[in-house]
Structure 1
Amino acid sequence: MDKKVLIVEDEDRMREITADYFKASGFQVFEAEDGKKAMEIFQKNELDAVILDIMIPKIDGWSVCKRIRKESDIPIIMLTARSDEDDKLMGFELGADEYVTKPFSPKVLVARVKTFLKRIEGNIRNDKQIIDMKGIEINKQSHIVKVNSEVIDLSPKEYQLLCYMMENKGIVLSRENILNKVWGYDYFGDSRVVDTHIKKLRKKLGDKSECICTVIRVGYKFEVNNEK
């Protein structure tokens, strides 16, 4: 597969086992036992994904996630020994793309990462069509999003969410529809992750945030009034 993944985990045995599974699947694996080393590896390498434990020394996982997200939109999958919903929502607010609770199956984790990367590549390889609605422009070939001609930075999930909504302009999309399309049918987390990402996306769209309309007790739709 020739993809580079960084595994950040302070439990040596867990990190080694997880790394072995990724190596067996063709990944080039980088390992870090603390947040400081994780950031050093991130700065020196072009990674495709990060597996990030929250409770790590020197720099905690949340801080590492926040720092990485400021510089890159690579997929970040966070690991935690806790199942607290507030922890998960915090991770998504900081830019995490997936959340896995310990104990977990390394084999399943590898499969989820593969599926996630294929989904992203599928979006990038889509046709050359440029979607342009009321000043929001998506170039599906270059993966670039502009608002009022200014490039904005979106995480992979935010990008997929915006594409899905704009391609279905005027159609009410339930949270379940959005979860299945953007997160995949194998996602079993809280549907509130949709609301969290919508909130972040609206903030990044600035004065164009009004295009994403809330449909009470149902979901959301992308709507353009007086479209030129």
Structure 2
Amino acid sequence: MAQPAILIVEDEQKLSRLLELELEYENYRTVIADNGQDALDLMLSKTWDLVLLDIMLPELSGLEVLRRVRRKDETTPIILLTARDQVHDKVSGLDLGANDYITKPFQIEELLARIRVHLRQPVKQAATQSDVLEVCDLQVNLDAHEVKRANQLIDLTPREFDLLVCLMKHKNIVMTREQLIEHVWGFDYYGDTNVVDVYIRYLRQKVDKGFEMPHIQTVRGVGYTIRDNGQ
């Protein structure tokens, strides 16, 4: 079996060298890019099994690199490396299509565990049959990636769509923040679960605002649910 190829995008030389040594010890093939433009060129010209992408980079920021890459490549796992411990930066990265993030300073064992998780996750494939989820006047077509309420199209980001699908598949069941993180983000979450609160707020603005009956319900002290009978 070929060694997985990992692109390390990091401008701190000591850290990039440490990552290179640790990953090669674990039998990964590595290449280092120390600025955003080189990273973008490498990500678009070669195939990678996984990318470690720092947010703070010269020439192009990690978020800008991520934005441009995801226009052409939606499947390569990308883990953000960031010194910023703020919900906004985490949400921005995940919303742009990052699969995961880890905040500096981090333990190398934790990073290696995250890498193993993403390398063994199969690429998401389209559903083999038409599948429509319904809650009253709210419909989600999984094949078409389309959301309608009262026959009005609703434009959601990929992360918002996944969160809505999770809630609808578990309608009338209260999901904790931890459960939503696990189902929607697909990894054992380390950090603030209020990322979920941010996305719930986004969803409510798009799905419930302007309608008499809100579908997305908060169960105080527990989590969130979608009910098919409103309040």
- Do these two structures clear the TM 0.5 threshold for a shared fold by scoring above it? yes
Distance of 2:7 and 2:206 partners within structure 1: 28
Contact 1:52 1:78 in 2 (8 A): yes
Distance of 2:181 and 2:130 partners within structure 1: 24
Distance of 1:176 and 1:3 partners within structure 2: 30
How far residue 64 of structure 1 moved from its aligned partner, in angstroms, is: 1.5
Contact 1:34 1:56 in 2 (8 A): yes
Q: 1:153 to 1:87 in 2, by over 3 A?
A: closer
How far residue 159 of structure 1 moved from its aligned partner, in angstroms, is: 6.5
Percent identity of equivalent pairs: 33
Aligned length: 217
Distance of 1:187 and 1:64 partners within structure 2: 24
Give the counterpart letter for 1:138 in structure 2.
Answer: L
Q: 1:33 to 1:185 in 2, by over 3 A?
A: closer
1:219 aligns to 2:226 (yes or no): no
Give the counterpart letter for 2:192 in structure 1.
Answer: D
Distance of 1:14 and 1:130 partners within structure 2: 47
Contact 2:36 2:57 in 1 (8 A): yes
How far residue 200 of structure 1 moved from its aligned partner, in angstroms, is: 5.8
Question: Which consecutive residues of structure 1, in runs of 5 or more, have no partner in the other structure?
Answer: none
Matches within 5 A, 1:87-166: 87-118=89-120, 120-121=121-122, 124=124, 131-134=131-134, 135-138=139-142, 145-147=145-147, 155=158, 161-166=163-168
Question: Which consecutive residues of structure 2, in runs of 5 or more, have no partner in the other structure?
Answer: none
Distance of 1:42 and 1:58 partners within structure 2: 15
More deviation, 195-204/29-38: 195-204
Q: 1:185 to 1:94 in 2, by over 3 A?
A: closer
1:196 aligns to 2:198 (yes or no): yes
How far residue 158 of structure 1 moved from its aligned partner, in angstroms, is: 5.5
Q: 1:19 to 1:154 in 2, by over 3 A?
A: farther
| TM-score with structure 1 setting the length | 0.71
How far residue 39 of structure 1 moved from its aligned partner, in angstroms, is: 0.6
Distance of 1:62 and 1:185 partners within structure 2: 20
Structure 1 or 2: larger helix share?
Answer: 1
Contact 2:173 2:226 in 1 (8 A): yes
Contact 2:55 2:81 in 1 (8 A): yes
How far residue 169 of structure 1 moved from its aligned partner, in angstroms, is: 2.6
Matches within 5 A, 1:173-184: 173-183=175-185
How far residue 125 of structure 1 moved from its aligned partner, in angstroms, is: 7.7
How far residue 38 of structure 1 moved from its aligned partner, in angstroms, is: 0.7
How far residue 41 of structure 1 moved from its aligned partner, in angstroms, is: 0.8
How far residue 44 of structure 1 moved from its aligned partner, in angstroms, is: 0.8
| TM-score with structure 2 setting the length | 0.71
Contact 1:53 1:61 in 2 (8 A): yes
How far residue 36 of structure 1 moved from its aligned partner, in angstroms, is: 0.1
How far residue 173 of structure 1 moved from its aligned partner, in angstroms, is: 1.5
Distance of 1:47 and 1:204 partners within structure 2: 35
RMSD: 3.9
- What SS is found at the alignment partner of 2:66? helix
How far residue 57 of structure 1 moved from its aligned partner, in angstroms, is: 0.7
